[in-house]
């Protein structure tokens, strides 16, 4: 357990954006707020030069990642199409195996399905898994709450998007401070 409590570091951290697709827009609880945080995390990944893996669940039916989230850039892997609920497809496994990541920062939807299964798979592979609680949701609040409780008991660390970005930043004299500060000042949706 002590290893899971160590500080985040840009050099061994990966962000995982799970299934923030257009078809979910009208059905996920607090979607505008979750979208804001996921977009903030994607922008923060670019500023901090943290790699990000993106998946899309069966895009033929659920469509593509919402356009408000920038999933372009040299350190973005994917989007990888999947039919598994977990993000741990062969493509994602391949990216993880090519790097020495220790910390996985997970955000997207749905908390009780794809987020939960991905987190459990990553925990089984001995990653330190951090769930961005303001960047995950489900259609029903109860499903989200129970999944977060289960994941915390399984060893995942519950955190917020701002907390992750500030911890990776380390201090005001670090490269990217002004950009991250501006991101954090953007108004958040009330829902």
CA distance 56 to 85: 10
| Bridge-based pairing state of the strands 52-57 and 157-159 | unpaired
- CA 36 to chain centroid: 12
Asked if 17 contacts 171 with a C-beta cutoff of 8 angstroms, the reply is no
Is-catalytic flag, 143?
Answer: no
Which is the catalytic residue, given 18, 38, 43, 114? 114
Is-catalytic flag, 121?
Answer: no
Which is the catalytic residue, given 19, 43, 121, 134? 19
Which is the catalytic residue, given 18, 43, 82, 134? 82
Is-catalytic flag, 19?
Answer: yes
Cα 102 to Cα 3, 10, 32, 97, 178: the distances in Å are 10, 10, 30, 11, 27
The dihedrals phi and psi of 128, each to the nearest 5 degrees, come to -80, 115
CA distance 44 to 179: 8
* Residues carrying an active site annotation: 19, 82, 114
């Amino acid at each position: 357990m002590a290893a899971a409590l160590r500080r985040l570091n840009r050099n061994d951290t990966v962000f995982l954006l799970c299934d923030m697709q257009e078809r979910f827009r009208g059905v996920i609880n607090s979607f505008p707020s979750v979208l804001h945080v996921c977009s903030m995390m994607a922008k923060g990944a670019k500023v901090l030069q943290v790699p990000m893996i993106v998946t899309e669940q069966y895009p033929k039916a659920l469509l593509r990642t919402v356009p408000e989230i920038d999933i372009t850039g040299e350190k973005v892997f994917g989007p990888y199409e999947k039919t598994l609920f977990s993000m741990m497809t062969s493509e994602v496994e391949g990216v993880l195996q090519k790097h020495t990541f220790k910390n996985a920062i997970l955000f997207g939807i749905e908390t009780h399905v794809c987020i939960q299964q991905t987190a459990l798979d990553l925990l089984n592979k001995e990653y330190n898994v951090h769930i961005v609680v303001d960047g995950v949701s489900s259609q029903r609040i109860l499903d989200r709450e129970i999944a977060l409780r289960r994941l915390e008991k399984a060893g995942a660390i519950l955190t917020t998007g701002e907390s992750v970005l500030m911890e990776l930043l380390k201090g005001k004299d670090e490269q990217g401070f002004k950009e991250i500060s501006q991101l954090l000042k953007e108004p958040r949706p009330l829902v």
